[in-house]
Amino acid sequence: MNILFIHQYFKTPNEPGATRIYFIVKRLMEHGHHVTVVTQSKGAKVGREVKEVDGIQVVYLKNAYSNHMSIPMRLKSFANFMMKASIEVFNHKRMDLVIATSTPLSVGLPALLLKWFRNVPFIFEVRDLWPEVPIQMGGIKNPIVKKLAIGFEKLIYRNARHIVTLSPGMYAGVARYVDANKISMIPNMAKIDRFWPRAKNVGLEKELGLKSESIKVIHFGTMGIANGLLYMLEAAKILQDQGEHDIVFVLLGEGRCENDLRHFTEIHHLRNVHFYKRVPMDLTSEIINLCDISLVSFKDIPILSTNSPNKLFDSLAAGKPIIVNSDGWTRKLVEDSQCGAYVDPNKPEALAQLLVDWKHKPQWLTAMANNSRQLAVTTYSESRLTKEYVDIVNALPIAH
């Protein structure tokens, strides 16, 4: 089958960023499908570049995007990619299926146009419930725009041949508008061959200025508004004020809130917080392996409790105890599996106290770490879930 995969943020393991689609595409190709990816590249020398990346044909459309952008600038970037992709898809003459993966929701328009004008069916993947996420976060306030955005969301869902969601909450959100029989739930994946527990790289630890005897709590990925990371630094301040100098925090990544977080660290003279820029997957894996606990943080906004964060599943694969602060399905996941705990995102003192408790119970950390790795291998492994994705594609009643 010839498949066109539309994903605005396509990344390979050699690039910083989420790689879910890379592994799905590779598995589709292993099963005999020919896949072309349409994505963006701010570094493209011309408006359109076609490259072969790890055997995948990738079409890069020149488009500026950054986690540091304001909401209006992001919306402009989304619209620009949507228009360019809508033109690009008609350059591909022999397509049997389109797969479009959000966010943003606007990536659904090129797929919708191909369905209307060439009768090419499409799968739509919901990685966040748009437009509800920007609505609840205050990014969309105009009632007319809200109504139009929700109408577009329904239009995409109802025209899709099948919909893949990444969490139970997303599944329920989509099921408000379409028959549940055309919806599947495949969460983000634990890359168990890329993240795994092993001996620490002592040389790297020294290079990063970290002490081997400290308890290291890592948050890796985007430092955006939705992540609500200030409370992590407030907990760091509480611990420093209490003299708990052997608990330190590692922030690995970048984003719109990075400068504000660095400023808070500086004005409060926090010596227990370390910032590092985003790095490729292999080095990310090494740094996570140096750490003892993974923190998955989001603001206390109801819609964010439906998320399916990459960092959670990579932390499972890495065999780390996990702290979540979303009171949704991820809380149930870590508590039921005894691989972590939930902390109220509005109570940094509770986070500080939990870390002190865990510091004095190393056997708990070991047990939770083992449970994390076991859950990654048995339930959320990339090989298992990409196979589920391929099975959905192969089961579709499509003539090819």
Same-domain check for residues 108 and 120: yes
In a domain? residue 229 = yes
Same-domain check for residues 59 and 163: yes
In a domain? residue 64 = yes
Same-domain check for residues 144 and 36: yes
| Cis? peptide before 131, omega within 30° of 0 | yes
Distance between CA atoms of residues 158 and 179, nearest Å? 9
Distance between CA atoms of residues 88 and 174, nearest Å? 28
In a domain? residue 196 = no
Q: Greatest CA span in the chain, whole angstroms?
A: 67
Same-domain check for residues 129 and 240: no
Predicted confidence at residue 82, as pLDDT, reads 92
In a domain? residue 296 = yes
> In which domain, by residue range, is 233 found?
202-378
Residue among 249, 247, 347 nearest 294 (CA): 249
Tokens linked to 346: 């509005």
Predicted confidence at residue 344, as pLDDT, reads 96
In a domain? residue 194 = no
| Cis? peptide before 379, omega within 30° of 0 | no
φ/ψ of 347, rounded to 5, equals -130, 80
Secondary structure (H, E, C), the chain: CEEEEECCCCCCCCCCCCCHHHHHHHHHHHCCCEEEEEEEECCCCCCEEEEEECCEEEEEEECCCCCCCCHHHHHHHHHHHHHHHHHHHHHCCCCCEEEEECCCHHHHHHHHHHHHHHCCCEEEEECCCCCHHHHHCCCCCCHHHHHHHHHHHHHHHHHCCEEEECCHHHHHHHHCCCCHHHEEECCCCECCCCCCCCCCCHHHHHHCCCCCCCEEEEEECCCCHHHCCHHHHHHHHHHHHCCCCCEEEEEECCCCCHHHHHHHHHHCCCCCEEEECCCCHHHHHHHHHHCCEEEECCCCCHHHHHCCCHHHHHHHHCCCCEEECCCCHHHHHHHHCCCEEECCCCCHHHHHHHHHHHHCCHHHHHHHHHHHHHHHHHCCEHHHHHHHHHHHHHHCCCCC
Same-domain check for residues 385 and 372: no
Tokens linked to 364: 């708990």
Q: How would you write the pLDDT of the chain (400 residues) with one tens digit per residue?
A: 999 999 999 999 888 778 899 999 999 999 999 999 999 986 666 788 999 999 999 999 998 887 777 777 877 888 899 999 999 999 998 899 999 998 889 999 999 999 999 999 999 999 999 888 888 888 888 899 899 999 999 999 999 999 999 999 999 999 999 999 999 999 999 999 999 999 999 999 999 999 999 999 999 999 999 999 999 999 999 999 999 999 999 999 999 999 999 999 999 999 999 999 999 999 999 999 999 999 999 999 988 999 999 999 999 999 999 999 999 999 999 999 999 999 999 999 999 999 999 999 999 999 999 999 999 999 999 999 999 999 999 999 865 4
Same-domain check for residues 287 and 153: no
Same-domain check for residues 221 and 353: yes
Q: How many residues does the chain have?
A: 400
Same-domain check for residues 43 and 160: yes
In a domain? residue 61 = yes
Same-domain check for residues 346 and 229: yes
Q: How many domains is the chain partitioned into structurally?
A: 2
Which residues does 286 contact at the CB level (< 8 Å), separation at least 6? 201, 204
Please report, for the domain that includes residue 324, its CATH number: 3.40.50.2000
User: Is the distance from CB of 134 to CB of 140 less than 8 angstroms?
Assistant: yes
Same-domain check for residues 224 and 129: no
Which residues does 315 contact at the CB level (< 8 Å), separation at least 6? 195, 288, 294, 296, 322, 372
In a domain? residue 197 = no
Q: Sign of torsion, CA 269 273 276 278?
A: negative
pTM higher than the cut 0.85: yes
User: Is the distance from CB of 375 to CB of 320 less than 8 angstroms?
Assistant: no
Tokens linked to 339: 């691989």
Same-domain check for residues 327 and 370: yes
Predicted confidence at residue 43, as pLDDT, reads 67
Same-domain check for residues 107 and 234: no
In a domain? residue 19 = yes
Which residues does 369 contact at the CB level (< 8 Å), separation at least 6? 197, 319, 320, 321, 339
Predicted confidence at residue 205, as pLDDT, reads 96
